[in-house]
Amino acid sequence: MNIAENIHPPAAHAAPSLAGMVSLCEAAMRDVNKVILEKMASDVPLIPELAGHLIAAGGKRMRPMLTLMGALAGTTTQGKDDIPDEALYLAAAVEFIHNATLLHDDVIDQSEKRRGRDTANAMWGNEASVLVGDFLFARAFELMVSTGDIEILRMLSSASARITEGEVMQMSMAGAPDSKLEDYLSVITNKTAILFAAAAEAGARVGGASAPICGAMHSYGLALGRAFQICDDALDYGEDSDKMGKNSGDDFYDGKITMPVILAWQDGTAQERDFWTRTLSQQDYQTGDLQTAREILRRHRAVERALAHAKQEAEAAIAALSPLGQSEISSALISGARFAAKRAY
Amino acid sequence: MNIAENIHPPAAHAAPSLAGMVSLCEAAMRDVNKVILEKMASDVPLIPELAGHLIAAGGKRMRPMLTLMGALAGTTTQGKDDIPDEALYLAAAVEFIHNATLLHDDVIDQSEKRRGRDTANAMWGNEASVLVGDFLFARAFELMVSTGDIEILRMLSSASARITEGEVMQMSMAGAPDSKLEDYLSVITNKTAILFAAAAEAGARVGGASAPICGAMHSYGLALGRAFQICDDALDYGEDSDKMGKNSGDDFYDGKITMPVILAWQDGTAQERDFWTRTLSQQDYQTGDLQTAREILRRHRAVERALAHAKQEAEAAIAALSPLGQSEISSALISGARFAAKRAY
């Protein structure tokens, strides 16, 4: 899409896209990448090597971008136009926290591919992945400390604890397709949305935003994070998930319980439930099972309904932005929210 | 030993014992245990269950005790006699950091026993151990935040990063008995001593200690940590390590490189070096190998020489205490340092 179209569009017509956020954050993101490289450094060569493999692989950098957008929302309402250094440190910190959890997730899931590349655990072993994850986590706190703002440390240490609570809860739910939808929503809120919320709010705070704008960025991040994770989970059952660099059907083979499966179980026949029990619960897989799973989900429009739920979350994210008023920043955030709920479409 | 003997003894005669520290910290340690239980709580039942298994197993609680001793050194020089709540939170935080690293270590080493009990990973699997370790780490930062002192967060986040650097370095050295002694010392400084130092210094700081006393507690903790780890490693080759609840010879079978092995390699014959290469480097073990390893070490007095090094560190720890002057507190710290270098004797 044309970036020029993205300046002051009527919010209702903002098209789903990350381009507005990417464009507003472009220069600052280069500085964030410098901070990331600098803080990955260690006298122990394996650390930057392994961390670099993961972080260089990229991804969309949603979390640091949210921090920068929060900072922009803060500075512009103060009539400034420069993002403070503290926001760059925080953006790097949230990317470190996120990458630490990815390293540990890949160990836990024994994943071999992430973003289309071999995972760190496949290349360097579980030991190194666990330890370098710990290192990134500790470095994230060092970066946060450098902002000198204890309230930000409170916010992000609490978010970190909730991420792990979400992950443990997800692990406890594995293999149980009769899980409650509210438990799934609690898992994704903790493991994903809380960090989105903290990233956006912390950015606003160091940008000098007023309390209502900090609160708006928090609510925006929270709903956006939920939209993002619901889509990510739903698309694991999509025919084209290979395009995203994921192993298609990973969640299915891991017995991970996500929204489409819960919806299909709730409306399922006895025969369908037997299928989910054999596969997800008993981990007994036969050729063609992934195809069968997709057919059952299609019968119940389960992926479609999950994506509709994601869209609702995205609209909630957009509604939360009202304290920001109409601006290039709010337009970019609105487009970003729609993108999160529609990505890969 | 009789506690009464421990009041104002001439420092030179302070006998090796933890009893003085235990006695001075007894009441406060009960409060620390309350904080630990409270902060282990989570809506996700597996978390307190798993963390409780490890933390309840006890151990000597060296790190929280150091924090409390630091706080005592601070308050008494100010003419106060009560340990502030912040010290209790910090003591719980350092115990959480330590237990997080133990959970991750046991995953990495695939250990089945710790302190004579089944390890968490043996009981709940690696996944849960990795995640609950992450949870404890995050909770530790929440506890530190509650002190409101950003300098303490700086100290302990930096210590946490260095712990993982030490562990990665240790992993990189595995299987290389020709490693340099200075690299081993760097490993144990990072993975163990830095946290001892930070624990003691942070306690002194929240206790209101002067800069020289904070510095003294840091130096004491650093040297004590080295003494403690050198002994722990040396005793893994002792005949009676089973008594300590460790699997005797764990380090040998893991190919972990510790001081006795480095000393024996340096002075070793070609035949002895072949033995270390086959076992530690090539992980090819035969019946009787642990016995042979012990015989080679005995020939070079390698365990004895390592323990002599530990004793030097303990004396350095004691020397660092001079700013504290003679008191019940310094006597207890002196006895504790001697104990660290002589424990299990």
Give the closest-approach CA distance of B102 to chain A in angstroms: 12
Say if the Cβ atoms of A157 and B145 lie within 8 Å: yes
Range scoring the smallest mean pLDDT among B111-115, B190-194, B214-218, B235-239: B111-115
Q: What is the mean pLDDT of residues B103-117?
A: 73
pLDDT in tens, B308-344: 999 999 999 999 999 999 999 999 999 999 998 875 4
Could you give the percent of chain A with pLDDT greater than 90?
71
Q: In chain A, what are the domain boundaries?
A: 11-342
Phi, psi for residue A239 in degrees, rounded to 5: -70, -25
**Which of B165, B182, B256 best tests the A interface by mutation, with the highest count of A CBs <10 A?**
B165
Asked whether residue B68 carries a pLDDT value surpassing 80, the answer given is yes
- What residue type is B277 in one-letter code? T
- Predicted pLDDT of residue A314: 96
> What is the per-residue pLDDT for A243?
52
Which region among A50-64, A112-126, B278-292 has the lowest average model confidence (pLDDT)?
Answer: A112-126
Higher per-residue pLDDT: A47 or B112: A47
Residues of chain B in contact with residue A142, where contact means CB-CB under 8 angstroms, are: 154, 157-158, 161
Residue A5 has pLDDT above 90, yes or no: no
Mean pLDDT estimate for chain B: 89
Measure the CA–CA gap between B234 and B302, rounded to whole angstroms: 9
Q: Does A171 touch chain B (CB under 8 A)?
A: yes
pLDDT tens, position by position, A293-343: 999 999 999 999 999 999 999 999 999 999 999 999 999 999 999 998 875
Among the residue ranges A222-226, A237-241, A275-279, B226-230, the one predicted with the least confidence is: A237-241
10 Å Cβ neighbour count for A184?
Answer: 23
pLDDT at A1: 37
Superfamily of domain A11-342: Farnesyl Diphosphate Synthase (1.10.600.10)
Identify the DSSP state of A114.
Answer: E
The minimum CA-CA distance between A57 and chain B, rounded to whole Å, is 22
> Hey, is the C-beta of B22 within 8 angstroms of any chain A C-beta?
no
Predicted TM-score (pTM) of this structure:
0.89
Q: Do A161 and B153 touch (CB under 8 A)?
A: no
Measured between alpha carbons, how far is A218 from A201 in angstroms, rounded to an integer? 5
SS3 category, A148: coil
* Residue A272, pLDDT score: 98
Place of tokens 């954050």: A25
CA atoms of B33 and B259, how far apart (whole Å): 34
Q: Which CATH superfamily is domain B3-342 in?
A: Farnesyl Diphosphate Synthase (1.10.600.10)
